[in-house]
Structure 1
Amino acid sequence: MVFRLKPLDLDSIHEHIYDRYTLLESLADGLSQDLGIHQRDDVIQLDIEPPITTKTRGKRKAQKKLQPYNFTIKQSIAGLNSSSNNNSTTGYVLWSTTPIFAQWLLYDSNALPLREETANTNIPAVFSGSKSTAVVELGSGIAGILPIVLGDHVDHYLCTDQKGILNKLKYNIEENLLQFNNRYCVSDFLHLDISNHDQQRKTTRLEVMELDWEKFNNTTSQAPLTRISQECSIVYIVAMDVIYNDFLIDPFLKTLNQLRNSYLNDGLTTHCLIGLHLRAQDIVETFLEKAILEYNLPICSVEDPYLERTRVSLYYI
């Protein structure tokens, strides 16, 4: 069994939201009721690992070693609580949507079509297979989790966020970069070249770039975005827990739509994965309505048992 994509339109949005929040209510005793901050400490430890059942269920599964990831992440609780910063401060901490998504994508059997090329689905894998694949992350925040766990499986990974986030993001990526085991990391931003790497080992170009949704209007003219158009066949635009108030919805959707259309026009197979932490019901409803009605995005809900037991709702475009 693999996850199912349920197409959404204006008629089905309300049913989808009603069903999702009704299920959340039934699971309330087992779910955290906070806003979704993973942990309120300046330094946190995070393990993203194969579940025990996956590691021990039969010989065949046991022989296929799945890499665990163990992160040390430096947050800024003071930055989160600051009222003097004109930019968004939510990116200064890790929110729970990202590790939930990473855990599901890396290890859940239902997510296999996003890890491996298969003839049984027309969904391109996020992980690079026979075609060169890139991930562009919008609103990366400072934690640097997805650049490591996904960057180790793709040809290009581009993190984007506001200027004030980038140095802290760079620090956390560098602190955890040794967990790049499948590939060799090259990066202009991190000053990593290929002079000493094993030529038999594939490379990932990992870059970090400032991108403010309110100011973004030049599509893919910036160098890291252009390089993806020139060197890749498939691009996934990924964003985790970036929609939490009305103000952000239009700038985010405008940026997402510009990037998506630009890559589609360049001939790249282009898809998006958007993860939302389910807080205010009206915010999710407005986001979906605008995505469909104003931006004409072919949005689907990812229906999956693991995700449905969390506060994360995943959408595929």
Structure 2
Amino acid sequence: MEQITSFLSLLGEEVEDAEEEAFYLFAQDIPSSNLGFVDSRATTVDLTIQNQDYSIHQSPTLLSSSRAGGTTGAVLWKITPLFSEWLSSPTNPLWTQSLLSASSTIVELGCGISGLNALTLAPRVHHYIATDQDYVYRLFRQNIETNYHPSTSAKSSKRQQQSQQPKRKPKQQQQQPPTTTTTSSPNITFTSLDWELDVAGSLKASVGLEAAPLDGNDDDEEEEEADRGFDLLVSCDCIYNEALVAPFVRTCADICRLRPVYAADGHDGRRRRRPTICLIAQQQRSPEVFEAWLQETLRVFRVWRVSDEVLGPQLKSGTGYLVHLLLLR
């Protein structure tokens, strides 16, 4: 727990009041970014992150369609490359404080078609599970296959390669395990996840990762129990509709409950696995939607707004972007 406590000390004061936080953030001058698309008319977007070039395929046609359930994940949004650049930087405190390492597992909610967070982080961790609605999978897979660049620091792929592609089952009006589809990269898996219908707790089991070994910092005396949780949960620009707030926060909480809660003294009464860290990045649009999200989040999470010193110039206050860190209460 010491690493998390040290990391939290870099972030500034804990957020206690949703209304006060919303007022402070939205009282500032915010640059206009329209809706936040990089280029909603282009079928390909080229960009560079950490000196690595990426060519992201997207679908303007799908974005403008009347598909039930929404189409916002069909194109790349401006905050995603900035968040990927920051999160994958070797100077990010998550790496320097050893909260992320080659043994880490990460889950993303609402990954969209780009796969940028997976592309930039997966080469440095054990496994990355990207989740979203089924419709993004075809382009997500194309972007992973086109842009994946293995790292010499990555784990051997033989324990990560999936042997087959499970058949997809029709949705039922009750909670059920998510269905999983693999990519050609050794440690990235796409899994469909409905925040209202699917069981988030089965994510690791769905890709055969539930029996993964404990983090190297854990004592050998701890009970040999499958770790169903994750070191990091990320979500980028998924909070734009008040109707999505409750199921989104509930899904975040369900995933975080697979690990112990944070205790500053290091005593959680259960295990000494680290808690799941949540990082929620979003563009500033509606103060009402933001406040609704934060009010719901504060019911079950402790919240910190990541400081400008940690975020750097591209995501700091005044850019129109926000990054909050969540730890389950």
The alignment partner of 2:306 has SS state of strand
TM-score (norm 2): 0.74
In the aligned structure 2, how far is the partner of 1:142 from the partner of 1:313? Answer: 21
Q: Which residue of 1 aligns with 2:325?
A: 316
Q: Percent identity?
A: 26
Q: Count residues with an aligned counterpart.
A: 267
Q: Which of 96, 99, 104 lines up with 2:86 in the alignment?
A: 104
**Gapped regions of structure 1 (runs ≥ 5):** 50-67, 118-123, 193-203
Question: How far off is 1:20 after superposition?
Answer: 1.8
Counterpart of 1:297? Answer: 301
Matched with 2:68 is: 86
Contact 2:303–2:325 at 8 Å: present in 1 too?
A: yes
- In structure 2, how many angstroms separate the alpha carbons of the residues matched to 1:116 and 1:149? 17
1:68-120 deviations in Å (ceiling 9; x for gaps): 1211011011111111x1232101011112111122233485x3x11223xxx
In the TM superposition, what are the counterparts of 1:145-164 in structure 2 within 5 Å? 145-164=116-135
Distance apart, 1:14 and its partner CA: 2.6
**Preserved contact between residue 75 and residue 112 of structure 2 (Cα < 8 Å):** yes
1:104-161 CA distance string (max 9 Å, x none): 233485x3x11223xxxxxx523x06xx211101111000111111112111111111
**Secondary structure in 1 matching 2:34:** coil
**Aligned in 2, Cα 1:146/1:232: closer, same or farther, shift over 3 Å?**
farther
Show the 5 A alignment for 1:1-317: 3-10=10-17, 13-23=18-28, 25=29, 28=30, 31-40=31-40, 41-49=42-50, 68-83=51-66, 85-107=67-89, 109=91, 111=92, 113-117=93-97, 125-126=99-100, 128=101, 132-178=103-149, 180=151, 182-183=153-154, 186-188=160-162, 189-191=182-184, 205-217=187-199, 219-220=201-202, 223-224=205-206, 227-228=209-210, 230-231=212-213, 233=215, 235-264=231-260, 268-269=273-274, 270-293=276-299, 296-305=300-309, 306=313, 307=315, 308-317=317-326
Q: Deviation digits for residues 12-45 of structure 1, max 9, x if unmatched?
A: x33322222233x1xx4xx343111112211110
Say if 2:281 and 2:322, in contact at 8 Å, map to a contact too: yes
Deviation at 1:235, TM superposition (A): 1.2
One-letter identity of the residue aligned with 2:96: E
Q: Does the 8 Å CA contact 1:80/1:93 hold for their aligned counterparts? A: yes
Distance 1:217 1:114 in 2: 28
In structure 1, C-alpha distance between the alignment counterparts of 2:318 and 2:89, rounded to whole Å? 16
Aligned to 1:54: none
Equivalent pair of 1:5/1:303 in contact (CA under 8 Å): yes
CA contact (8 A) 1:207 1:224 kept: no
1:302–1:108 CA distance, 2 compared to 1 (3 A): farther
Calculate the aligned-residue CA RMSD, in Å: 2.5
Change (3 A) 1:14 1:274: same
Decide whether the 8 Å contact of 2:90 with 2:96 is kept in 1: no
- Higher relative helix content: 1
1:64 match: none
**1:114–1:222 Cα change, 3 Å:** closer
Question: Is the contact between residue 193 and residue 200 of structure 2 (CA under 8 Å) also seen in structure 1?
Answer: no
Following superposition, the deviation at residue 218 of structure 1 comes to: 5.6
* Cα distance in 2 for residues equivalent to 1:222 and 1:182: 22
CA contact (8 A) 2:11 2:304 kept: no
Moved over 4 A (4+): none
For residues 155-196 of structure 1, the C-alpha deviation after alignment (integer angstroms, 9 at most, x for no partner) is 11111111111121011000001364543654421255xxxx
For structure 2, the residue ranges without an aligned partner over 5 or more in a row are 1-6, 163-181, 216-229, 261-269
Q: 1:243 aligns to what SS in structure 2? A: coil
Distance 2:239 2:115 in 1: 19
